[in-house]
Amino acid sequence: METTYLEAIRKGIWEEMERDPKVFLLGEDIGIYGGAFKVTAGMLDRFGEERVVDTPISESAIVGAAIGASFMGMRPVAEMQFADFITCGFDQIVNFAAKCRYRWNAPAPLVVRAPSGGGIHGGPFHSQNPEAWFVHTPGLKVVQPATAYDAKGLIKASIRDNDPVIFFEHKALYRKIKGEVPEEDYTVELGKASVFREGRDMSVITYGAMVHVAAEAAEVLEQEGVSVEIIDLRTLLPMDEETVLSSVRKTSKAIVLHEATLTGGLGGELSARITEKAFESLDGPVLRLAAPDTPVPYAPTLEKAFLPDVEKLLEKARWLAAY
């Protein structure tokens, strides 16, 4: 059944709440209002106010309550209205939830949903991609789906996981991306990348909304005689290094693409791993394409200039193909 990215996440959460009474939701405006983006619409009526909890505007309280509930055997799914606001609960996530298994072998089965990304003219406080902060934190799992199928399968797998998961959902994909999503129960394994598109001349390693930018660019390059393989990471931590290296060893050229700003972004980590472990296979430098090191602009024209897009990727890819 063809389903939007948003509806796939909604169905995944709904199914897990039906399957396991220990799953419950908490966040701002998720009950009566149905969430800022309507992901939780209808859930209050179905599951009641004890399992769909409208909270005060306090991300620290939301995350803290979720951690405590997870210790008591519950499986909370906490919503940050926008990923940017996760900073208010940052200490609880990185200094407590992430370290509990290491310190005293305590599972903390919670999911923090974080709607992220630009392309919606949200400006600097509603458009960030802060995944690198959390990928740098051992003990967390960090997930970012690009397709409706993966969105449902990964949210279900995240809810069932016994470690804290930061689940990034790209806002621009919510109603733009559709795909076939099975009605039957399924999950997508955490920690496994996918070969989104097979190719032979160049690898583009990416995730989230940039998977679709890469796919559009790959179609153009195919007409120019350049075959592009696209690796969709899906899970950023733990990272599926072997799928990335296998692709690069096959194609000999690599571009790492992400929407987050360049410096300190995941592109640097991936570039280093490729250089360290697949250097003998490379036939050109590992390139990065990311946003410039500025806050996300509000003006549509400036936001367009800020975000990586097809034309910027084509410029990088053509240069690398000719190298």
Q: Flag whether 226 is in a domain.
A: yes
**271 and 214 assigned to the same domain:** yes
The predicted pLDDT at position 199 comes to 98
CA 263 to each of CA 173, 274, 308: distance values in angstroms, whole numbers, following the listed order: 25, 18, 14
Q: Write out the DSSP string of 108-176.
A: ---EEEEEE-SSS---TTS----HHHHHTSTT-EEE---SHHHHHHHHHHHHH-SS-EEEEEEGGGTTT
Domain C-terminal end among 180, 202, 218: 180
**114 and 154 assigned to the same domain:** yes
Domain C-terminal end among 134, 154, 180: 180
- At residue 189, the 3 state secondary structure works out as coil
**213 and 285 assigned to the same domain:** yes
CA neighbor of 293 nearest in space, from 72, 140, 132, 183: 132
Instruction: Tell me how far apart the alpha carbons of residues 223 and 89 are, in angstroms, rounded to a whole number.
Output: 47
- Are residues 87 and 61 in contact, defined by beta-carbon separation less than 8 angstroms? no
**245 and 140 assigned to the same domain:** no
Instruction: Tell me how far apart the alpha carbons of residues 38 and 119 are, in angstroms, rounded to a whole number.
Output: 19
The predicted pLDDT at position 75 comes to 98
The predicted pLDDT at position 23 comes to 98
Total domains present in the chain? 2
Instruction: Tell me how far apart the alpha carbons of residues 307 and 128 are, in angstroms, rounded to a whole number.
Output: 11
Rg of the chain, C-alpha, whole Å: 19
The predicted pLDDT at position 15 comes to 98
Domain assignment of residue 25, given as a range:
2-180
Per-10-residue mean pLDDT for the chain, 323 residues long? 96 98 98 96 97 97 97 97 97 96 94 97 95 98 98 98 98 96 96 98 98 98 98 98 98 98 98 98 98 97 97 98 96
Active site positions, annotated: 126
**202 and 174 assigned to the same domain:** no
For 262-281, what is each residue's pLDDT tens digit?
999 999 999 999 999 999 99
Q: Flag whether 41 is in a domain.
A: yes
Instruction: Tell me how far apart the alpha carbons of residues 180 and 257 are, in angstroms, rounded to a whole number.
Output: 25
Instruction: Give me the CATH number covering residue 93.
Output: 3.40.50.970
The predicted pLDDT at position 1 comes to 82
